[in-house]
Structure 1
């Protein structure tokens, strides 16, 4: 997991709260942030990462929900907490690259 400091250095914390919101409800809040982030590439990147992370959480829940419900719930919770971690890091001006997801978003969706 690579991290790099953003250009604003996390100085605009009121504006940066959008990153925490993007990961709060994953795909749903990610869509809202994506629509509202007109032209802000960093916000759109995190919004798309949140959407893809949310879709992955749903897929994990469906796959493991039928076979091992406890594992499904635990993995879903871990993915949500990981998303919040990424949101807080982005709030502080550090962009965390999610393995596979960040590359997918940068190549295909942004």
Structure 2
């Protein structure tokens, strides 16, 4: 999975990094909570990580539900490992671009 990084500007606090980490690690629960909290949702970095974390979490849940088929089960595991990688990058303060997910979220207007 190719991964690009871009930084749209703005200050990223340690609190932002922590919420970004949690959004990827404890997906889909934490991203839902973050998106319901107005003060966290107003922070661009937290919102970016939460929306992408939620999208990845939904994919993991769908693939896990289809795990009686071998390939979706393997994909769920791989997405889980990729979510850990994204959490580490998020804690380093990097905006990560997930090839299909980021484009989809941007086209929906969920992230800038």
2:83 is equivalent to residue 77 of structure 1: no
Match of 1:100 in 2: 100
Runs of 4+ in 1 over 4 A off after TM superposition: none
For structure 1, the residue ranges without an aligned partner over 5 or more in a row are: none
Write out per-residue CA displacement over residues 4-38 of structure 1, whole angstroms, 9 at most, x where no aligned residue: 2453576x334411111101121111111222313
Query: Secondary structure in 2 aligned to 1:60?
Result: helix
Match of 1:68 in 2: 70
- Count of residues in Structure 1 that have an aligned counterpart in Structure 2: 106
For structure 2, the residue ranges without an aligned partner over 5 or more in a row are: none
Counterpart CA distance in 1 for 2:88 and 2:82 is 10
Structure 1 residues 5 and 38, CA gap change in structure 2 (3 angstroms)? closer
Correspondence 1:1-110 to 2 at 5 A? 1-5=3-7, 7=9, 12-36=13-37, 37-63=40-66, 65-68=67-70, 72=73, 74-110=74-110
Query: Secondary structure in 1 aligned to 2:99?
Result: coil
Write out per-residue CA displacement over residues 39-82 of structure 1, whole angstroms, 9 at most, x where no aligned residue: 1122112111111111111221223x22228x61x432321221
Greater RCO (Cα-Cα under 8 Å, separation 6 or more): 1
